[in-house]
Amino acid sequence: MKKEVIVLLLLGILLVSPLVLAQEQSQTQEQMKTYSGFDRFVDNVKMVFSFGDKKVMQALEIREKEINSAIVNTKNGDDENAEKNLERARKRLQFVQNKVSIDTAEDVGLSVDEIINDIEGEEDLPDSFDVYVLEEKKTRLTAELAIEIGGSEGQTQSQTQERTQTRTTEIAEEIMEIDTQIADTIETGMDVDLNKIDPNASPKTPIPTDGSICCKKTKDGETRYHWDYEEDCLNPEKIKGEVVDTDVCVALGQEVLDKEDPKSWGSVDGGVPKECVEQGAYDDESCEAIMAKLPVCCMHNTDGEITYSWDPRDSCVIGYGERMEDESLCA
């Protein structure tokens, strides 16, 4: 009887082992895949149609895929695309930092720990991953801050002051310290690049004399630099940028664009609609709510009788009405 049991166990092991091996190989192959453009497009669409806490969790998932892809690209020697992955992941983290709530804070913290462990578990990753880890740590701090602030609701004033003023101040100081570390690291990296320039050579691009500044703009993970007026650079109706040191644009030379490409970097594509800017709504959720209430020329068909009226955009839908491009019909 014992022999029969042993034989059955051996047969079971022989049958299960190939399945386990196949599953492990499948998981390994999946981990070695890069984040394809199509998959990114699908996830970005999901992001657009997600709201509130779901949008935060979707952003975390996308950033995880970008990091996994960055690691794979690095191992494959594709440093350029790895840097693009890191930049996209950083943008998703910055969204999470602005949107994290007390309901998502714990999940955000756990996700941050997982990603940091994954990165630190790899060998021979470039220094850019170390800079990225700082952004992850900053995200964890913002999640903790959401818990501190949210947890103080319903307490007495004295309890609130005692609980929040000390820790929130500490968190704010820690976040500022990380921001300083990130800025110092980026500046140091730029100094290395600038030192490669021949000091006796003339600038690769002339510094404008009309008051233009060096403007950095990022869209869909792609970064561009322009000589631009500061008010235009920071205009949220365009792709909002940031002012960087003039030497950066000088060092980049011909890579700096004199004008924005209207096809992909113009005042509409990638910017915040004027209606939202006027009300100070720069995030997707708030702006979408405002745009949904804007009046549009709407056609109604009631028992064969056609009428036109100005209705909110979100109520002029198939079955209740149809938006008309010719607004003169509602005049």
pLDDT of residue 107: 95
Contact 205, 78 (CB under 8 A): no
Cα separation of 60 and 177, whole Å?
A: 23
Strand pairing category for 213-219 and 242-244 = antiparallel
What are the residue boundaries of the structural domains of the chain, listed by start?
Answer: 1-29, 32-194, 213-274, 293-330
Averaged pLDDT in 10-residue chunks for the chain of 331 residues: 54 51 46 80 86 91 95 92 92 88 93 95 90 93 83 54 69 82 65 44 60 80 79 82 78 65 54 72 73 85 83 76 82 74
What DSSP state is assigned to residue 155?
S
pLDDT of residue 104: 92
Cα separation of 241 and 267, whole Å?
A: 12
Cα separation of 107 and 140, whole Å?
A: 10
pLDDT of residue 258: 58
pLDDT of residue 266: 52
**Is the dihedral angle over the CA atoms 279, 283, 183, 215 positive or is it negative?**
negative
pLDDT of residue 24: 47
Cα separation of 182 and 189, whole Å?
A: 11
Cα separation of 276 and 284, whole Å?
A: 10
In the block, residue with structure tokens 């170390």: 130
Cα separation of 65 and 115, whole Å?
A: 10
